[in-house]
Amino acid sequence: MRTRLLAALCFLLPSLALAGDARCKGTPKARAARFSDKALKGKSPAERYAEYVKACALDEVVDLTQSLVRFKTVSSEQPAAKSPEVAAMGRFLEKWARAHGLGFRAVGENDVFELSWGEGEPRLGLVFHGDVVPAPAHEWKKPPFEPYVEKGRLYGRGVEDDKGPLASALVAISLAKELGLSPRQGKVLVIIGNGEESDWSGMQKYAETQKPHPTHVISVDSNFPVVAAQGGFVAWQLEAELGTAPAQPTAGRMRAVDVTAGEFLTQVPGAAVLKLEPAGLAPDKALAAVKDAVAAVHKARPSLQAEVKQEGTQVVLTTHGKAVHASVAEEGHNAMWDLAAVAAKLPLEPNGIEALLGVVASRFDGDHWGEKLGVAYQDTLMGRLLVAPTVLRVKEGKVSLGINMRRPQGKDSATFNASLDEAAALLSRDSGGRVKELKAVKGGEGGRYVGDPHVADTSGPLVTTLLDIYKRHMNEPEATPTSVRGGTYARLFPRAVDFGPAFPGDLYTGHAPDESISLDNLDAVTRMVAEALHTLALTPPAK
């Protein structure tokens, strides 16, 4: 039984708190009066604030999250500067900020939205992102940008990554203001970048130019207890020429004419599709050959989910996996692996699709750690290198394979780049020179990106304060700082850490279809963020 259940016994389930606490009724002024020092005699400001948040925050957090989710801020489809949805969300946040007595400004071309509270040098920065990953409607049970609550969970693209946590912080601030609390050591900033899922340049420029940075910076975009280290983000791309079909079909062989897998670089593919022309086979024999290959692979991997059908002259093979965030690839199931395994048993004419599927089958299938590529290594704190092939496409006569890696500390960038050079040479030899690494071209497309790991000070006051909050709220006295493979905006600020929203043992749904967060998790995030806000920014300076 998870320890969060123990916490629920101590702090009450949010549904029970909301249903039974009449103090949350009425105007903000009226309900705040019920948590004043006069109404709760003998309780400190911190205790009254914690009780107010616990009793009354969740409904507001859910409502605000739903409002934010309705803005379709998919940065990979439209960058912030050109997105009417990002602009509309900015107007909404500005209106919300003014209504709650906060400052608001847009930095750059809507690259960053900043809400501010208080005066003086920045004391606390709470960092989020307002953009989201794509949400193909066919993968969702209900429209992804029409959020709803069902069976104790809030659903919609962005409810966990990152609009729910953003709403938690904003509501925590608004309730503190209603109680008459204020920053005592410098102002509080809520910093919202709008390109985290695609182009970090806007937030990078903000971090480089907006100085001084807050004394403490907390990103609520990863895991609990406290994430003090992040893996380095790696983007690597391979390609092959599709090639021209032979004038005469090769007897006994089929021709791969199209392949599709994955939606974007940071999500493990939940489905993969291969389209085949019978070419040198009779149509019925081609269909039978694909079905036989599926049956053969199924014997070796009973979890295989595959469909084979005929569409006109083509045979279409579809494999189904489990889409998850690429940083936790081992928690999902890569549909591309299965597609490549079946393709390896088919009599295919040589071309770029056949070549890249062969590479996936021989050097990626079943291996999350890069051992087959010869790039594997690990670190005591940060664990193993993660390797996930995520996007396979045919476009303009070329077949491309996008690969996402998350690398721990332990190898400098020069050494790691050298290992990728060797892996690229290996794949080229495997494929007879047909598969090559895609080099950067004019305009910045393609090319290799190797980011460095980020490690914070685990003994500093920020980590120790947040860890203490988590231990008490979740009744986990043995909790320790942790690391993740994912990369968040925290890495742009020295000594910054992540604090939630995902809990240990929970499946992260942030990049998956039907993204959701439980209401009790959302409530716990709000209460812990509120205490961090109070402890780090609202208490008087130490004498």
Per-residue confidence band for 381, with pLDDT thresholds at 50, 70 and 90: confident
| Residue 260: both structure tokens together | 């599709």
Q: What is the pLDDT of residue 458?
A: 80
Q: Which of 516, 432, 437, 403 is nearest to 164 (CA)?
A: 516
Q: Which one-letter amino acid corresponds to residue 156?
A: G
Our measurement of the distance from residue 131's CA atom to the centroid of its chain's CA atoms, rounded to an integer in Å, reads 11
The CA distance from 51 to 36, in Å, is: 11
The full length of the chain comes to 543
Q: What percent of the chain has pLDDT over 90?
A: 85
What is the tens place of the pLDDT at every residue in 326-371?
Answer: 999 999 999 999 999 999 999 999 999 999 999 999 999 999 999 9
DSSP three-state, residue 516: strand
The CA distance from 13 to 527, in Å, is: 12
What is the tens place of the pLDDT at every residue in 271-321?
Answer: 999 999 999 999 999 999 999 999 999 999 999 999 999 999 999 999 999
Please check whether residue 103 is in contact with residue 75, taking contact to mean a CB–CB distance below 8 angstroms.
no
What is the tens place of the pLDDT at every residue in 113-123?
Answer: 999 999 999 99
Q: What percent of the chain has pLDDT over 70?
A: 94
The CA distance from 386 to 326, in Å, is: 9
The CA R_g of the chain, rounded to the nearest whole Å, is 26
For 328-423, where are the E strands, in sequence order? 378-379, 383-384, 386-395, 398-407
Q: What is the pLDDT of residue 441?
A: 53
DSSP three-state, residue 118: coil
The CA distance from 149 to 14, in Å, is: 14
The CA distance from 8 to 148, in Å, is: 23
Number of alpha carbons in the 13 Å side-chain half-sphere of residue 239? 18
The CA distance from 171 to 96, in Å, is: 11
Please check whether residue 483 is in contact with residue 519, taking contact to mean a CB–CB distance below 8 angstroms.
no
Spatial neighbors of 475 by CB under 8 A, at least 6 apart, are 3, 6, 7, 10
Please check whether residue 212 is in contact with residue 122, taking contact to mean a CB–CB distance below 8 angstroms.
yes
Per-residue confidence band for 439, with pLDDT thresholds at 50, 70 and 90: confident
Spatial neighbors of 344 by CB under 8 A, at least 6 apart, are 357, 358, 361
Place of tokens 């208080």: 118
Q: What is the pLDDT of residue 20?
A: 52
Please check whether residue 446 is in contact with residue 403, taking contact to mean a CB–CB distance below 8 angstroms.
no
The CA distance from 220 to 69, in Å, is: 17
Please check whether residue 270 is in contact with residue 320, taking contact to mean a CB–CB distance below 8 angstroms.
yes
| Residue 542: both structure tokens together | 């130490």
The CA distance from 433 to 431, in Å, is: 5
Place of tokens 């859910």: 62
State the DSSP H helix or E strand holding residue 273, giving kind and residue range, or none if neither. Answer: strand 271-277
Region class of 369: left (phi > 0), else alpha (psi between -120 and 50), else beta: alpha
Spatial neighbors of 218 by CB under 8 A, at least 6 apart, are 124, 125, 126, 127, 462, 466, 490, 496, 497, 498, 499, 529, 532
What is the tens place of the pLDDT at every residue in 191-243?
Answer: 999 999 999 999 999 999 999 999 999 999 999 999 999 999 999 999 999 99
Q: Which of 151, 392, 167, 132 is nearest to 265 (CA)?
A: 392
Q: What is the pLDDT of residue 445?
A: 53
Report the interhelical angle of 519-533 vs 461-474 (nearest 10°). Answer: 140
Q: What is the pLDDT of residue 508?
A: 82
What is the tens place of the pLDDT at every residue in 233-265?
Answer: 999 999 999 999 888 888 999 999 999 999 889
Q: What is the pLDDT of residue 85?
A: 98
Q: Which of 385, 364, 386 is nearest to 435 (CA)?
A: 364
State the DSSP H helix or E strand holding residue 484, giving kind and residue range, or none if neither. Answer: strand 482-484
Place of tokens 């685990």: 458
Q: Which one-letter amino acid corresponds to residue 338?
A: D
Q: Which of 448, 449, 426, 427 is nearest to 439 (CA)?
A: 448
* Alpha-helical segments (H) within 120-180: 163-178
| Residue 462: both structure tokens together | 């920020």
Please check whether residue 522 is in contact with residue 64, taking contact to mean a CB–CB distance below 8 angstroms.
no
Please check whether residue 363 is in contact with residue 381, taking contact to mean a CB–CB distance below 8 angstroms.
no
Pairing of strands 187-193, 122-129: parallel
